[in-house]
Structure 1
Amino acid sequence: MGSYRFILSGGGTGGHIYPAIAIANELKRRYPKAEFLFVGAKDKMEMEKVPKAGYKIEGLWISGLQRKLTWKNLMFPLKLITSLIRAGNIIKKFNPDVAIGTGGFASGPLLKKAAGRNIPYVLQEQNSYAGITNKLLAAKANRICVAYDNMERFFPKEKIVKTGNPVRADLVSIDTDKKKALSFFGLDTSKKTILVLGGSLGARRVNQLIESKLSFFETQGVQLLWQCGKLYSEDYEKYNSRTVKVKAFVNRMDLAYAAADVIISRAGAGSVSELCLVGKPVLFIPSPNVAEDHQTKNAKALEVEDAALVLKENELDEKFDSVFSKLLASEEEQEKLGANIKKMALPEATEHIVDEIEKLLK
């Protein structure tokens, strides 16, 4: 009992990798003797992140289709065939009890081969607009764990379970003292703090916006905690001052959230789920450069519930100043947004997903 074998696949971005690791950690907590194997795309970040989390990973030679005709697209059929053969061998050798896919290209060949050997599998879809890999895999899936309502547009209704997205354990209860959080970053306790998040690698357009608005923020009397991302830190570190703290990466996100009065963020699925738990007023600036424009759809799903403000990149020049200053001037609006986004939090997502996986263990 308990010596089960679990195979997990998800990758390409942190948004797919992090949930897979969180699910594995919860399974390991319940089944300490279980064996785990991850399968990812050879040249993607999972090949580094997964071993760091303490799990073995095998890589497939796979990538997505580009939107225009490229050399990579011509290689796609060959990559797909190679990956299917390799995934078949991995499944045969590891012989898992259950397979789990959290999105990303590598999960396609792996779960297709799992289905061929009658191995039950669970899909986890983080976004409000389903990714192409998960849509293709839905027909044979045993359960599909989702984070938004109305997902029967993409998946068979009887397979859907609304669980929410796994979030980092340290964020489930942010009870840090705000004064302590502010002093950790060297911020002033008498000023409102704006937290800017562009994702781990950074977001060029968000950074450009913040840079162009530094004097505007000064006139508003606020201070900034600005995570600009590893790719951009050299460009923006020069703006460090008493009221502007520029970080390539924030390791203590619990303290950053505790320090914040208002948050400006991209709208990736992981960020949205975390921000629901945090329960602070958020202005989302979705990235338009992602598959199926899913960030805009994630953000709009909150906007219709009066749980966040949303500005598209092409609206920033025209609308940012008025939207931001109006929010800052109204404590009532800040409280309403904070309370409404908090209502959408699903803090026990990982446990609920693992409950669904447990039902499939023979």
Structure 2
Amino acid sequence: MAEVFVLAGGGSAGHVNPMLATAAELRRRRPDAELVLLGTAEGLEAELVPAAGFELTEIEKVPLPRRPSMDALRFPRRWRSATATARAAIEGAAAVVGFGGYVATPAYLAGRSAGVPIVVHEQNARPGLANRLGARWAAAVGITFDGTPLPKARLVGLPLRPAIADLVRDRATDAVARSVAGAQFCGLDPERTTVLVTGGSLGAARLNATIPLVATALVEAGAQVLHLTGKGKSAGVLELLGAAPAQVSAHYHVREYLTEMEQALACADLVISRAGAGMVSELAALGIPAVYVPLPIGNGEQRLNARPVVSAGGGLLVEDSELSSTWLREHLLPLAIDAGLRARMGAEAAGAGITDGAARLADLVLEAGGGPR
């Protein structure tokens, strides 16, 4: 009878991509094993899981109601449905692996009830509610950032999505050739220093409002900018660039989104971004120096995500409220100008990065499941 591994994660790319990377590593090691991927019909997993060649077992999305509402009235029925799906999925499983979010909680509870070993992976420096719960019963807990406060935590890093794992290998073989290919794909000049600006798919208002203010200075310093504004957010950036000389606009490239993000990272000499766990982990693994601007809302997890690589000298951190044209001229321009400074910072980033997170997490899963690694 084939081994069965259940992986539960969904809602955001931060949960889905590590799940897919781990599933791919388990499939490589255990080609005969059955992999069951739990996710919702509404989240990104509904698109990303089938695209990666896996079948999605749909489970109802059941947010914990925080106040009286229709959702609160529907909660008991939806919770019973989700837990029933999870119990059926883990029957006979060697291990259940959770990546946090709504999907993970029913899987953790079903695993505990059935006596199936639980493995938790936490992507952020500050763990979420589902993983804090799952870690209580887990056989193993893998964390992305050292110091994440969970019991039995072992540092494994972030399982890198295949496109980034491939880029890590390509850069180790011939970084120059891969950079040129990435620049050509993005319509950039391979000879100029490339500054990548990204706030993720939703964009970052502060980056969009501030980086164009130093467009002329960056271009005059020999750089070019690839600014990914977020979907529907390009108009404001283009308006700020409207008064710039033509030679500046020619080297300041504005796009809303880039599906093939690995192409931009292949040619990026310097990145300015938010500090989501995925971005911090990918930039460190690739050895790319960065300026991190943590999201100013939430529980402060982005600041904590960036702390290890910044402390190692692999990047700079600036609070959203402090990012200004003055700050950029004082801190960003020297990096854009000085290749040696960027090289040193990139080396420090690489030293803090982890490139084999999927392999490390798969080790934990196979150990918990009782089989050889």
Q: Same fold (TM over 0.5)?
A: yes
Counterpart of 2:150 (choices 142, 149, 155) is 155
Equivalence for 1:63: 63
CA distance in 2, matches of 1:174, 1:297: 29
SS at match of 1:113: helix
Q: Does 1:245 align with 2:253?
A: yes
Q: Does 1:16 align with 2:15?
A: yes
Q: Which amino acid aligns with 2:80?
A: I
Cα pair 2:118 2:134 within 8 Å, conserved: no
How far residue 75 of structure 1 moved from its aligned partner, in angstroms, is 5.1
CA distance in 1, matches of 2:202, 2:126: 23
Q: Does 1:266 align with 2:274?
A: yes
SS at match of 2:48: helix
Q: Which amino acid aligns with 2:183?
A: L
Cα pair 1:187 1:242 within 8 Å, conserved: no
CA distance in 2, matches of 1:82, 1:33: 36
Equivalence for 1:186: 187
Cα pair 1:224 1:243 within 8 Å, conserved: yes
SS at match of 1:140: coil
Equivalence for 1:138: 135
CA distance in 1, matches of 2:124, 2:362: 19
CA distance in 1, matches of 2:84, 2:65: 24
Q: Does 1:34 align with 2:42?
A: no
Cα pair 1:171 1:274 within 8 Å, conserved: no
SS at match of 1:359: helix
Q: Does 1:284 align with 2:280?
A: no
Q: Does 1:356 align with 2:353?
A: no
TM-score (norm 1): 0.87
Q: What percentage of residue pairs aligned between the two structures are identical?
A: 30
Counterpart of 2:123 (choices 103, 123, 126) is 126
Q: Which amino acid aligns with 1:229?
A: G
Q: Which amino acid aligns with 2:356?
A: E
Query: Which moved further from structure 2: 186-195 or 302-311?
Result: 186-195
Cα pair 1:47 1:57 within 8 Å, conserved: no
* 1:1-362 paired onto structure 2 within 5 Å: 3-54=2-53, 55-63=55-63, 74=69, 77-78=72-73, 80-94=75-89, 95=91, 96-151=93-148, 154-156=149-151, 159-169=152-162, 170-175=166-171, 176=175, 177=177, 178-233=179-234, 236=237, 241-290=249-298, 292-317=299-324, 319-362=327-370
CA distance in 1, matches of 2:21, 2:277: 15
CA distance in 2, matches of 1:64, 1:207: 34
How far residue 214 of structure 1 moved from its aligned partner, in angstroms, is 2.8
Cα pair 2:99 2:121 within 8 Å, conserved: yes
How far residue 234 of structure 1 moved from its aligned partner, in angstroms, is 5.6
Q: Which amino acid aligns with 1:351?
A: A
Query: Which moved further from structure 2: 10-19 or 235-244?
Result: 235-244
CA distance in 2, matches of 1:82, 1:141: 27
Distance verdict in 2 for CA 1:131–1:227, change over 3 Å:
same
Distance verdict in 2 for CA 1:319–1:75, change over 3 Å:
farther
CA distance in 2, matches of 1:65, 1:336: 48
SS at match of 1:213: helix
How far residue 180 of structure 1 moved from its aligned partner, in angstroms, is 3.5
Q: Which amino acid aligns with 1:163?
A: V
Cα pair 1:128 1:301 within 8 Å, conserved: no
Cα pair 2:309 2:353 within 8 Å, conserved: no
TM-score (norm 2): 0.85
Cα pair 2:65 2:72 within 8 Å, conserved: no
Deviations 1:144-179 (A, max 9, x none): 01122223xx222xx222111011222332324133
SS at match of 2:280: helix
CA distance in 2, matches of 1:51, 1:189: 35
How far residue 122 of structure 1 moved from its aligned partner, in angstroms, is 0.5
Distance verdict in 2 for CA 1:64–1:263, change over 3 Å:
farther
SS at match of 1:60: coil
CA distance in 1, matches of 2:161, 2:137: 29
Distance verdict in 2 for CA 1:82–1:22, change over 3 Å:
farther
Distance verdict in 2 for CA 1:172–1:331, change over 3 Å:
closer
Distance verdict in 2 for CA 1:30–1:227, change over 3 Å:
same
How far residue 41 of structure 1 moved from its aligned partner, in angstroms, is 4.0
Query: Which moved further from structure 2: 175-184 or 233-242?
Result: 233-242
Aligned residues between the structures: 351
Cα pair 1:84 1:110 within 8 Å, conserved: no
CA distance in 2, matches of 1:225, 1:313: 20
CA distance in 1, matches of 2:228, 2:65: 31
How far residue 47 of structure 1 moved from its aligned partner, in angstroms, is 2.4
How far residue 235 of structure 1 moved from its aligned partner, in angstroms, is 5.3
Gaps of 5+ in 1: none
